[in-house]
Structure 1
Amino acid sequence: MTQHSTDQPDRPEAAVTETPAPEKEIAVAATAVPADDDVVLRVEDLAVDFRTESGAARAVTGANVEVRRGQTVAIVGESGSGKTTLAMAVLGLLASNGAVAQGHIWFKGEDLGAAGAQRMAQLRGTELGLVPQDPMTNLDPVMRIGRQIDEGLIDNGVRTLRTARARTVELLQEVGLPDAARRASQYPHEFSGGMRQRALIAMGLSARPALLVADEPTSALDVTVQRGILDQLAGLTRDLGTAVLLITHDLGLAAERADVVVVMYRGEIVEQGPARRVLTEPQHEYTKRLMAAAPSLASRRIEIARERGLEEVLEEALLAPSAETGSSDDGTASGNPDEPTTAALVQVRDVTKVFRIRGNGLLSRGRDFTAVEGVSLDVPRGGTVAVVGESGSGKSTLARMILDIEKPTSGTIEFDGAPAGGHDHRSRIAYRRRVQPVFQDPYSSLDPLYSVYRAIEEPLRAHGYGDPAERRARVEELAEQVALGKGVLRRFPSELSGGQRQRVAIARALALSPELVVCDEAVSALDVVVQAQILRLLAQLQEDLGLTYLFITHDLAVVRQIADRVIVMQAGRLVEEGTVDEVFDTPQTDYTRALLDAIPGRDLDLAV
C-alpha cells in the first residue's frame, strides 16, 4: 500500500500502532439515524491490519460510519489518519498485505466481508464507483479517453461493444466536457487537469453506482475548476440518488459539500456529526487543530477577525502549535507590508512568452500560443510575492522564465540589476547558485535512486563546494535547518512521507545559499497539517536567512498566510496587483472576486 504521512512524519499509514488519540471518547453530534432501507453503507466496528516485518500493524480501529441514499459523508484527517484505508476496505481494494481484522461492512444489506473476490469485482463494476485522487496516474497514457471508458462499460456488462461509445459520449457530456465526441478520441496528455478529473468522474458514475467513493478528487486542481467539478458531481449524484463517501483533508471543502463529517486521527474516528456543527463547534482537540491548520478556514478567520476588530487574536487563532512540534512559529506573512522595502531583487518588464504548437498532420501548419503577455512586476528583496491564477494562466511559465529555464520571447528580466541568467555559461552557473526552485511534487522532483544525503549533496558537488567532509557538514546543517534528523539522510524518497520529501526539496534548494527561492505550488500536494508546518518552516527560514520568495500557487487561502504582495494572472496577463489586504479585502476585477469566492468554506460562521 502507498505510504502516507502522518502528523509524525516518520510513520507510514500502515504503521499506526500507538494509542489513537489524546481523548478516547468519540465526540458525536446528534443526528437522526436513517431507516435501514435508506442506508447504502454501514461500517460497524471496523479494524484493518497490515502485515509488516515486525508483525501486524493496525491502521484502522473500531470505525463506525453510515452513508444513506443521496447523502455525502466526508472523512477528513491528515495523511496517514486511516481515511483512505477505510475507503479501500469498503471497496475491497486493500493492498495485498492488508486485511479486515474485525467488524463488518454492510452494503445495501450485504456483508462485503463474506463476499468473494468475484462478487467484489462485480460490485465494483456496477454498484460501487471510485473517483481516485490523481487523474494522470490513474488514466492509461497510451489509451484514448473514450476507449478507457468503453472498456469499463463493456467489461462490466453495462453496455455492448456496439452501444458503448455512444454511452461514453453521453457520460463525458454529463460531466461537462464540451465537444465530447472529439474529446473521447483524445489522449490523457491532451486534457487539462480539470478535464482529466471529469473523465475519471465519468468512469466512476458510468454504471450508475449506489455508492461513489471520491478520494481527494480535486486536491490538485485550482479553486475555480474544483468548484465546477464539485458542482457537476453534486448535481449528478443528486439526480441519481447516489451516496457519496468523500475522502478529503480540506475541512472547508467538507463543510461546504458534505452532509456529515467524520474526523479520523491515527486510525480512529474521534468526532462525527452534521458537517456545519462539527466544523463550527468542534469538540475534539484534533478537530480544532485541523481547523487551525486549514488554509481556507484560516483565511476566513482573518476576515472575521478584521471585521470584528480582533487583530490581537489572529496569531493565536491561526497558529495553534501542533502537539508534535511544539512550534510557536507563525505561518503568516513573513514580512511587514508597512515596513519600507529595499530595491527590487527581481524586475520583470513587459515580458511575453510565445510557444509554437505543432500541427497534427504532416501538411498541417502549427500555430503560436501566447502563454505570458506583457507582464511587468517587481519582487522586493527579503519579501514574498505570490503569483496566483487558474491552471493555464501563465504563472508557472513566468516562474520558469525567472528561473532561466525558459527564455522570454520579448521583454526583460533582471536579477539584482543584471540580466537574469546572464549571457554566457559562467554567468548562468553563477545565477543557478543565487536562484533555486522548490517544485510542486517532491516525489517526482527527487531522484528515487538517490538517498536523501545524496539528493541534498548533489548541488554542492555540481558547484564544486568544498571537500567531502565539508559537504557532509553542510548537508547535516541543512537537514537540521529543515527539521530532518540525521537518520533520515540514509533513507530514499520512497521511505519518506510527503512532508519529509518536501523538506528534502527545500534543503536541496538552500544548499548553495540562494537569495531567491521560487516555490512553484510547493505545498499544494500536502495535507493541511503538513502544509502548515512547511509554511511555518518557510517563514522561519526567510527570517533567519533573509530569503526572497516568489510563490506560485492557485490556492488563495495559502497566499493570505505567506505573502506580502499578490499578483493575479489570467490567460497570460497580469490583471491585478497589490498587498494581500488590498487584493483580499477590495478586489478590483471580477476574475479576482471569482477566485476568492471559490475558496471552500468562505461562508462558514467561524469563531475566531
Structure 2
Amino acid sequence: MSDNPEKKTAKKTTEPTTAAPVASSKADSAENVVLRVEGLCVDFRTENGAARAVSNANLTVERGQTVAIVGESGSGKTTLAMAVLGLLASNGSVAEGHIWFKEEDLGAVSPQRMAQLRGTELGLVPQDPMTNLDPIMQIGRQIDAGLIDNGLRTRRDARTRTVELLEEVGLPDARARAAQYPHEFSGGMRQRALIAMGLSGRPALLVADEPTSALDVTVQRGILDQLSGLTEELGTAVLLITHDLGLAAERADTVVVMYRGDIVEQGPARQVLTAPQHEYTKRLMAAAPSLASRRIEIARERGLDEVLDGALLAHGEETAAETDVLVSVKDVSKVFSIRGKGLFSRSTGFTAVDGVSLDIPRGSTVAVVGESGSGKSTLARMILDIEKPTTGSITFDGGVVGAGNHRDQIAYRRRVQPVFQDPYSSLDPLYSVFRAIEEPLRAHDYGDAAARRARVEELADQVALSKSQLRRFPSELSGGQRQRVAIARALALSPELVVCDEAVSALDVVVQAQILQLLAGLQEELGLTYLFITHDLAVVRQIADRVLVMQEGRVVEEGTVDSVFDSPATAYTRALLDAIPGKDLELAL
C-alpha cells in the first residue's frame, strides 16, 4: 500500500460502478483474494419484525489492498464490517449471501474457529479507544493477554513481543509505556495501542473502523502513515470504515459508497471521488469539510466568486477593525497544579494557556484551532467562567468575567452558553428532549409552564426538530438530532455568545454540514456571536471570520481565515494545513 496518489490511481483503470463487485487490477487468483463478500444481507430482529441493515452487498479485498467503505451514520458500513468479523449484535444475523475469507466460508465455520481467526488472521482497530481499552489494566498487560490467549506467545516472552509491537506503532520508550494505564495516554497514543493489538497476530485482513475520527489532523496523519507502513510491510489487506471522503481518497485503492444498507457506487478511489456517478456520492462530496476546503481553494485560485458564495458559510469579511467587541481576552494564562506520583512528592505547575489575547467582535465567528493539548478548550472554559484565569482578564460587553456577585454570574450564564462535542454525555438520559430543552428555562425562572412550552416548541422549530421528537429520549435520537437538541438548549435563554467546543467533530459529514448550515442560519437570524473551538481547519474555512492558531498554550498565528489559509506565517500552521485530507485532489467545481 502506498500513500502516493498517482501510484494508487495507476493501479486501477476501470470506471466507477454502482453496486457491482470491486474491480481488481491484479490477476484474480485465489491466493490474492483475502476477502470476498457475495450478496450479503444482514437483518436485525426488532419488535416490529426483521429490519434489513445491509442489502445484497458485493465487494472484494485483495492482499496489500486498502478498500474504504464510506457513508453517513446508519448507512450500514460498520454493520458490514462486523458481519465479516462475526461480531454482530445478538439480535443481528446474516440472512443471505456469503463471506469468503481466503477459501473459508465464514458463515459455515464454528464459533471456535471464528474466535481463532479473530485472534490471528482477522484484526480490528475500533473507533473509540477509551471504550475498547480496560481502564484499570495496564496497556502492556492488555496486549500481553491477547498474545497469550491467542497462542501467539507464551507468558514468558509475551511482554518482549508487546514492547516490540508498541515500538512498531511509534510509541517512544515503549517498555515504560507498557506499564501505564489508558488514562495516562493521549488520544493518539491510545489509538496506536489499539493498532498494536490489531496487528499483533499479523492478520491477513485488518478492519479499521473510523480509527482516527476523534483525533486532530496531524496526529491522524502520523497514525495513518504508521498504519500504512506496517500493512504494506506485512502485505495486510485493509477494510477502512470512514465517513471522511478526503481521507478515503488519500489512503484507499478502492472506495465503496453505502447508503441505507445498499452499495450504491464503487471503484478506484480517485475516480469515484473526482467523478462521482451516484447522486448520494455527490451529496457526500458536497458535505465533506475537507473536500469543501479544497473546493474553496481551487475557486480562489480560479477567481470563481459564485462558487465561493455557495461554499462559505461565514461572512468572509474583515471583522478586526470593528469597534463593537463583545469579548476581550487580555494576556490570560492558566496554570494547573499537578501532584507527583509519590506519597511525599511535590506538586508541579503545568501551564495550559500562556499569555493569550483575543477579541471577539459582536456577530462574528472566531475559531481557535490547534492540536490536542494546545490549550484551546481550556481557553473556552475560562471564557465560559468554568475555569478561572491564573493571570490576565476576560471582559464580556465591558464587564469583567467572574468578578461580580452570584446574581451577576447567573446573568452571565444567560448571555453565554456552550455546545459541547458529545451531545449524548451532555444530555441527561432520563430527560425527554422537551425536558432537556426546558431545563435552562426552569433554572432561570422563565415564565409559567405554558410560556416554557411555547418557547421549547419555538426552539425545536428553529433547529428543525419535530414535535414528535420532543417526546423522545436521547437514546432514541441520532447523533445529529442530539446535537440539535444541545443547540436548542443553548439558545433557550437567548444568549449573545455561543461557545462551540468541537461541536461537530463527532458527527458524520452529512450531519456535520447540516449542523454548520444551521449554526450559520441561526447567526444570521439571531445575531449570535460564536467562539468555535476545533482541530479541523477544513471546518474553520467554511464557517469562521477570523482564526487563532494555538500551540502548547500560546497563540502562534492570528488573522482572517483567508490570510491564514493563503499565507500561513508559521511552520506549525503550514503543518496543520498540509494534514487536511484530500488537499491535492482536483475536484470539479
TM-score (norm. length: structure 2): 0.95
Describe how 1:92-131 pairs up with structure 2 within 5 A. Answer: 92-131=86-125
Distance in 1, Cα, partners of 2:359 & 2:320: 16
The aligned amino acid for 1:503 is R
Q: Does 1:172 align with 2:166?
A: yes
Is the Cα–Cα contact under 8 Å of residues 568 and 576 in structure 1 kept in the other structure?
Answer: yes
Distance in 2, Cα, partners of 1:123 & 1:27: 28
Distance in 1, Cα, partners of 2:29 & 2:421: 45
The aligned amino acid for 1:26 is A
Higher mean displacement: 110-119 or 382-391: 110-119
Distance in 2, Cα, partners of 1:542 & 1:440: 19
Distance 1:176 1:217, change over 3 A: same
User: Gaps spanning 5+ residues in structure 1: where?
Assistant: 1-23, 319-330
Distance in 1, Cα, partners of 2:341 & 2:153: 32
Describe how 1:207-226 pairs up with structure 2 within 5 A. Answer: 207-226=201-220
Equivalent of residue 556 in structure 2, options 570, 575, 578: 575
* 1:32 equivalent in structure 2: 25
Distance 1:29 1:303, change over 3 A: farther
Higher mean displacement: 498-507 or 442-451: 442-451
* 2:14 equivalent in structure 1: none
Distance in 2, Cα, partners of 1:67 & 1:132: 19
Q: Deviations over 1:45-92 (max 9, x none)?
A: 100011111111111011011111111100000011100000000000
The aligned amino acid for 1:86 is L
* 1:205 equivalent in structure 2: 199
* 1:148 equivalent in structure 2: 142
* 2:510 equivalent in structure 1: 529
Equivalent of residue 440 in structure 2, options 453, 456, 459: 459
Is the Cα–Cα contact under 8 Å of residues 213 and 245 in structure 1 kept in the other structure?
Answer: yes
Q: Does 1:234 align with 2:228?
A: yes
* 1:403 equivalent in structure 2: 384
The alpha carbon displacement at 1:423 in A equals 2.5
* 2:181 equivalent in structure 1: 187
* 1:325 equivalent in structure 2: none
The aligned amino acid for 1:62 is N
**How well do the aligned residues superpose, as a CA RMSD in angstroms?**
1.4
Q: Deviations over 1:4-39 (max 9, x none)?
A: xxxxxxxxxxxxxxxxxxxx9537886436322100
* 1:47 equivalent in structure 2: 41
* 2:299 equivalent in structure 1: 305
Instruction: Report the 3-state secondary structure (helix = DSSP H, G, I; strand = E; otherwise coil) of the residue aligned with 1:113.
Output: coil
Q: Deviations over 1:410-449 (max 9, x none)?
A: 0000000001133321111110000000000011111111
User: Gaps spanning 5+ residues in structure 2: where?
Assistant: 1-16
Equivalent of residue 243 in structure 2, options 246, 249, 259: 249
Distance 1:283 1:396, change over 3 A: same
Higher mean displacement: 391-400 or 472-481: 472-481
Distance 1:246 1:268, change over 3 A: same
TM-score (norm. length: structure 1): 0.92
The alpha carbon displacement at 1:116 in A equals 1.6
Q: Does 1:160 align with 2:154?
A: yes
Higher mean displacement: 568-577 or 154-163: 154-163
Q: Deviations over 1:145-165 (max 9, x none)?
A: 111111111111111111111
Distance in 1, Cα, partners of 2:134 & 2:18: 44
Is the Cα–Cα contact under 8 Å of residues 18 and 263 in structure 2 kept in the other structure?
Answer: no
Distance 1:519 1:446, change over 3 A: same
Describe how 1:196-595 pairs up with structure 2 within 5 A. Answer: 196-316=190-310, 318=311, 332-334=313-315, 336-337=317-318, 341-595=322-576
The alpha carbon displacement at 1:400 in A equals 0.3
Q: Deviations over 1:449-469 (max 9, x none)?
A: 111111111111111111111
Higher mean displacement: 259-268 or 422-431: 422-431
Higher mean displacement: 470-479 or 243-252: 470-479
Is the Cα–Cα contact under 8 Å of residues 335 and 383 in structure 1 kept in the other structure?
Answer: no
Identity among equivalent pairs (%): 82
Instruction: Report the 3-state secondary structure (helix = DSSP H, G, I; strand = E; otherwise coil) of the residue aligned with 2:423.
Output: coil
Distance in 2, Cα, partners of 1:100 & 1:142: 35
Number of residues of Structure 1 aligned to a counterpart in Structure 2: 572
The aligned amino acid for 1:79 is S
Distance in 1, Cα, partners of 2:469 & 2:323: 38
What stretches of structure 1 move > 3 A for 4+ residues in a row? 24-31, 334-342
Distance 1:27 1:161, change over 3 A: closer
* 2:75 equivalent in structure 1: 81
Distance in 1, Cα, partners of 2:318 & 2:257: 37
Instruction: Report the 3-state secondary structure (helix = DSSP H, G, I; strand = E; otherwise coil) of the residue aligned with 2:539.
Output: helix
The alpha carbon displacement at 1:607 in A equals 1.4
Distance in 2, Cα, partners of 1:600 & 1:166: 36
Is the Cα–Cα contact under 8 Å of residues 42 and 105 in structure 1 kept in the other structure?
Answer: yes
